[in-house]
Amino acid sequence: MTTLTRADWEQRARDLKIEGRAFLNGEYTDAVSGETFECISPVDGRLLGKIASCDAADADRAVENARATFNSGVWSRLAPTKRKATMIRFASLLKQHAEELALLETLDMGKPISDSLYIDVPGAAQALSWSGEAIDKIYDEVAATPHDQLGLVTREPVGVVGAIVPWNFPLMMACWKLGPALSTGNSVILKPSEKSPLTAIRIAALAIEAGIPKGVLNVLPGYGHTVGKALGLHNDVDTLVFTGSTKIAKQLMVYAGESNMKRVWLEAGGKSPNIVFADAPDLQAAAESAASAIAFNQGEVCTAGSRLLVERSIKDKFLPMVIEALKAWRPGNPLDPATNVGALVDTQQMNTVLSYIESGHSDGAKLVAGGKRILQETGGTYVEPTIFDGVSNAMKIAQEEIFGPVLSVIAFDSAEEAIQIANDTPYGLAAAVWTQDISKAHLTAKALRAGSVWVNQYDGGDMTAPFGGFKQSGNGRDKSLHAFDKYTELKATWIKL
Ligand code: NAD
């Protein structure tokens, strides 16, 4: 744990200079329109600063610039070993600035400072260095051609990448894209969420310090319906990579169809089932995991274990264990290093979460923990981790992504029924299964329509395995070598010998 106390972080927060301008061609710059929007901290409702409100004019400038930089070859044709070294320096700079970046992240979107410092910043740096490390170890292919032909199968960078990211893990989601996008030689225009632009703006300068040429990484803060839409519809953006809601993911596919058929890769929402069979090897561990799966990051996690499916024969024993485990997750001041649940990102998101709690009540589910806004006197947006029992999978709280700390508990009687309920959602991002029967574990994992399945744990994984969704949770994968598919075009070159 950090040696900095809450008072130290609060002092640093007061001293912090917030950069709110866009980053274009290696320099901070105002939006073309000169417009700004306010960045409000959910920690206490304080104004953090004014942020450049970019729109289509900024997108045009950035794309033109990114294209010219790409065509110049200054980065796109640099030897992979050199790009590797630069990406590793970029990652090191994130780590050197870990405390500053963690503070920006926490003030901007409300997550606990210990999470920002020990999960988000290291995870972001790891995404940059892992992709950089890989880039000079990937080989292209020679096809199995006839004797008088040589067939080369090579990968090329796609060109100009528009990366649109959400607010729940602002820096980490950005770096899941930047790692492979930059390592493969592309020029990138990063659009952070209007709810959490600060770390994206800050790391643009660190990229220059690392030696990434100007024009390769540009950052355009602003709203989705202005600058986000402009990137989506732009005829000279080659690829859009996105993390965010399923609703906006679908919209980006429309933009691509209406413009230049740019490639669109989507990491979208989830409503993940956490299935606990009666023969789970360790019910205490399962209960603690079920609690952290809904309370970590205030439940603002695409893979949140928001549906807890429990075999009916153990439900009366198991549910009190989950309720007890959830008591360890209490919202508190995010700048206190001991806090493990912070503020929801803003008032709008808090009201959304509270309205889902209302809908749980009115649909007849039984509230067994939490359910209220708290710490109102701080000026921040805090909601207690909440559990509803007696939920049917047809209820709104079981079908829709809440993106807050609200857990729905659903009983089942057989493995078949558990799988049917688990898959009965438009989403397919992640799932977990708890059992000590190895066949049941494998058969259930195979039957689950989800991009990640965890057995006897919740939320495992690192850069080595792909991450992404089935169904309306998206397409393509972040992390691992599979992520490189998004950022490269495959070319076949036939040489007559
Ligand atoms: P969101 O879809 O509202 O916004 C995501 C980004 O899209 C933001 O930068 C936003 O400004 C932009 N945007 C909004 N409207 C746009 C438009 N018309 N054109 C272009 N861009 C537009 O999502 P959010 O509320 O920021 O994030 C929460 C969502 O992200 C949840 O659904 C969550 O499940 C999902 N998420 C998914 C993953 C994953 O890897 N699958 C990871 C984290 C979050």
Domain locations along the chain: 6-268+474-494, 273-465
How many CB atoms are closer than 10 A to CB 496? 6
- What pLDDT is stored for residue 292 in this prediction? 98
Rg (CA), the chain: 23
Could you write out the DSSP letters of every residue in 330-349?
A: -B--TTSTT--B---S-HHH
302: annotated active-site residue:
yes
| Predicted model pTM | 0.98
pLDDT tens across 63-102, in order? Answer: 999 999 999 999 999 999 999 999 999 999 999 999 999 9
Would you say the CB of residue 224 lies under 6 angstroms from ligand 1? yes
Tell me how far apart the alpha carbons of residues 200 and 221 are, in angstroms, rounded to a whole number: 9
Atom of ligand 1 nearest to the CA of 166: 26
Q: Are 57 and 35 in contact (CB under 8 A)?
A: no
Q: What b-and-e string marks burial along 269-283, b requiring 16 or more CB atoms within 10 Å of the CB?
A: bbbbbbbbbeebeeb
Question: CB-based burial of residue 228 (10 Å sphere; 0-12 exposed, 13-18 middle, 19+ buried)?
Answer: buried
400: annotated active-site residue:
no
- What pLDDT is stored for residue 460 in this prediction? 84
CA–centroid distance, 272 to ligand 1, in Å, is 17
Question: CB-based burial of residue 2 (10 Å sphere; 0-12 exposed, 13-18 middle, 19+ buried)?
Answer: middle
pLDDT tens across 315-354, in order? Answer: 999 999 999 999 999 999 999 999 999 999 999 999 999 9
Find the helix or strand (DSSP H, E) in which 12 lies. Answer: helix 6-15
Low-confidence ranges of the chain (pLDDT < 50): none
Tell me how far apart the alpha carbons of residues 329 and 384 are, in angstroms, rounded to a whole number: 9
Q: Among 396, 25, 29, 36, which Cα is nearest to 188's?
A: 25
- What pLDDT is stored for residue 1 in this prediction? 59
Would you say the CB of residue 200 lies under 6 angstroms from ligand 1? no
Q: What are phi and psi of 162, to 5 degrees?
A: -100, 125
CA 42 to chain centre: 19
CA–centroid distance, 221 to ligand 1, in Å, is 14
Q: What b-and-e string marks burial along 421-458, b requiring 16 or more CB atoms within 10 Å of the CB?
A: bbbebebbbbbbbbbeeeeebeebeebbbbbbbbbbeb
CA–centroid distance, 269 to ligand 1, in Å, is 8
Q: Among 221, 273, 224, 219, which Cα is nearest to 245's?
A: 224
Would you say the CB of residue 402 lies under 6 angstroms from ligand 1? no
Look up the CATH superfamily of 273-465.
Aldehyde Dehydrogenase; Chain A, domain 2 (3.40.309.10)
Atom of ligand 1 nearest to the CA of 473: 41
How many CB atoms are closer than 10 A to CB 189? 28
6-268+474-494 is classed in which CATH architecture?
3-Layer(aba) Sandwich (3.40)
Find the helix or strand (DSSP H, E) in which 264 lies. Answer: strand 263-267
Test site for ligand 1: of 165, 193, 252, 294, most ligand atoms within 8 A of the Cβ: 193
Q: Are 291 and 329 in contact (CB under 8 A)?
A: yes
Name the closest-CA residue to atom 22, ligand 1.
224
Could you write out the DSSP letters of every residue in 214-262?
A: TTSEEE----IIIIIHHHHH-TT--EEEEES-HHHHHHHHHHHHHTT--
